[in-house]
């Protein structure tokens, strides 16, 4: 991330920018195994990256999320960040996140300022995901890929940061209880890896208090 001065619309966005500028690169890891020691995992991991887009709204930052279409092979119908698997021509995780974001929802990288990264997250389905946190400068136009994306929506960051917004839930998986984080938001249900990364973001931004 560049140390260049960044003019932001909201005071909270300015504080987030300054926090990531001071942070050391993350060295930890998180994943679906957290709290689920017996969970069956895919043995071979594919490298991936997602963008955690903080939209710099004047009234306060929002998080941009997507609802995946129901026919996809992986994570069908789930709420997710834009992103995907690393391709050979990608220079690094940031390049992957920016490319995938442009391909999935049509958000041009000229509106994006990368702030930093969260802990790498390993999913049960075999992805080692680097979450790339970025500021998104409006106005912008989105053109979602109808094959991959059913909807694009925003959630106030203040909602995500409120501890009352998150719940720890459990579901039966192959005869055992699988525990996971969730953020129910109106008709949207944010859970699994996306929710786990949001909890990581909350932990990081807790340093602002």
Domain ranges of the chain: 11-163+193-204
The pLDDT tens digits for 155-179 are 999 999 999 999 999 888 777 788 9
The pLDDT tens digits for 42-75 are 889 999 999 999 999 999 999 999 998 865 555 5
What fold does the segment set 11-163+193-204 form as a domain? Answer: Nucleoside Triphosphate Pyrophosphohydrolase (3.90.79)
Whole-prediction pTM: 0.92
The pLDDT tens digits for 99-153 are 999 999 999 999 999 999 999 999 988 999 999 999 999 999 999 999 889 999 9
Q: What is the DSSP string of the chain?
A: ---S----SSHHHHHHHHHHHHPPPP--EEETTTT-TT----SS-EEEEEEEEEE--TT--EEEEEEE-TT-SSSTT-EE-SEEE--TT--SHHHHHHHHHHHHH---GGGEEEEEE--EEE-TTSEEEEEEEEEE-SS------TTTEEEEEEEEHHHHHSGGG-EEEEEEETTEEEEEEEEEETTEEEEHHHHHHHHHHHHHHGGG-
Q: Is pLDDT above 90 for 18?
A: yes
- Residue 3 vs residue 209, higher pLDDT: 209
Report the pLDDT averaged over residues 179-195. 94
Q: Is pLDDT above 90 for 199?
A: yes
């Amino acid at each position: 991330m560049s140390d260049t001065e960044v003019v932001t619309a909201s005071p909270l966005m300015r504080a987030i920018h300054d926090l990531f500028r001071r942070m050391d690169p993350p060295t930890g890891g998180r994943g679906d195994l957290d709290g689920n020691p017996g969970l069956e995992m895919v043995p071979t991991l594919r490298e991936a990256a997602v963008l955690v887009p903080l939209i710099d709204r004047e009234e306060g930052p929002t998080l941009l999320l997507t609802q995946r279409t129901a026919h996809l092979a992986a994570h069908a119908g789930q709420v997710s960040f834009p992103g995907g698997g690393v391709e050979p021509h990608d220079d690094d995780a940031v390049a992957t996140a920016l490319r995938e974001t442009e391909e999935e929802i049509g958000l041009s990288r000229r509106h994006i300022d990368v702030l930093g990264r969260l802990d790498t997250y390993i999913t049960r389905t075999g992805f080692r995901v680097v979450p790339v946190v970025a500021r998104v400068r409006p106005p912008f136009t989105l053109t979602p890929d109808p094959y991959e994306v059913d909807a694009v929506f925003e959630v106030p960051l203040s909602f995500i940061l409120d501890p009352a917004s998150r719940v720890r839930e459990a579901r039966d998986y192959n005869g055992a209880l699988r525990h996971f984080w969730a953020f129910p938001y109106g008709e949207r249900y944010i859970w699994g890896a996306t929710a786990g990364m949001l909890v990581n973001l909350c932990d990081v931004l807790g340093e602002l208090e």
